Structure 1
Amino acid sequence: MSRNPARNRVTRAHRSLGPSWFDRLSDLTHPSWARTLVARRVAAAGLACLAVALGLRGDPDSAHSPVVVAVRDLQPGRILVDTDLEVRQLEVRSLPDGAVTALSDVSGRTLASPARAGETLTDVRVLGPRLAATAAGIEDARIVPVRLADPAVAELLREGDRVDVLTVDSDTPAHSGRPQNATVLASDAVVVLVTPSGNGRDQRDRVVMLALPATEATTVAAASLTNAITVTFQ
């Protein structure tokens, strides 16, 4: 270390007026305390701006969507009206597949299964193409309503049951003493709805909704106009 203060001052002045490459490199690798403080402040300001930007953007996983929910407990077989439903904003990541987003998509439709108050409705909770396809397991499916020859059988049926649909030859009277020939109209039909009893309704008026491939659904619907229909459980 030089013991001549005057010479040191001259050397520092010379470096400030005409710094060499070595001097510049030395300044970069050994920044002054003031320069380090400024750099830290700039970095802190940048991080603060980034945090604000992320806060304004929001978490993409918490995006919301309008969905239709039941406002009260609803029974299957009910024809939905607007007062049964309301639209709420719920997190997208919490919604089930097929969640209904507009009242017009379900208002006036028949509810196929019970719904609790606050429950999100989906496209398979009401009678329609999506329910038929999902229940039957094929895209080309239909829902056909039938009244059973023995209304008591309807009491035993539950949504999701698989049954075979049968009829008998209408040319053979039931009390003729001759055996009636049974014809299987459809196999592996899926029960999607049994209209509820009660409220003074005649048991003979109860309707069973079956999901079937389109061709078999047509056959069953035509036969039900003239022949007695029954089902056998699988």
Structure 2
Amino acid sequence: MRPPPLRRLLAALSAALATGLAVPALRPSPAATVQVLAAARDLPSGTILGPRDVRPLALPPDAVPAGALRENAVGRTLAGPMRRGEPLTDARLLTGGLLRGYGAGTVATPIRIADAGVARLLRPGDRIDVLATPSPGAPFSRTVVSSAPVVAVPRLRSDQGALIVLATDRTQAAALAAAGSSLSVTISGAPAGPPQNDGPR
């Protein structure tokens, strides 16, 4: 005896519903990701990060580098250059600890020197004189800043020299920025005390 048409219809609907529920269950769940911050563009060392300098980046959990930042990057200063898309980590940033023990007006000032070999001789706490390449018509290098304390020597080496971070005041930081990219240093061995800005000689 055939089942009534209504019973056949209900059986068909139940089978279709069961099939529809089974298909999503067979689909693999989306891979888990962790959202971190990355450079939104190529950034030079010493950049004070703004909202347009960083962007979110989703990474698989096992690809997240140690110390990756997920927030609170705006206003921080880069200790070295970054490429667009590179995850931002705590090792890429200058920290307040670099300036512990210095005066309230002290800033951490990154400079790049031409000779990376000289940077290998430096350690935090050394005091150096920073020299600028002679300008046209000037026979000698000029001292931009003297007896400046070294607070960090990031391990970033390239054919473009090496990065050094100094403790300076804001006037000295501006003088170093205006001195150009061809800088060299000498180890002064000066006694402890505030660094002096000699200005052009």
TM-score, reference length from structure 1 = 0.40
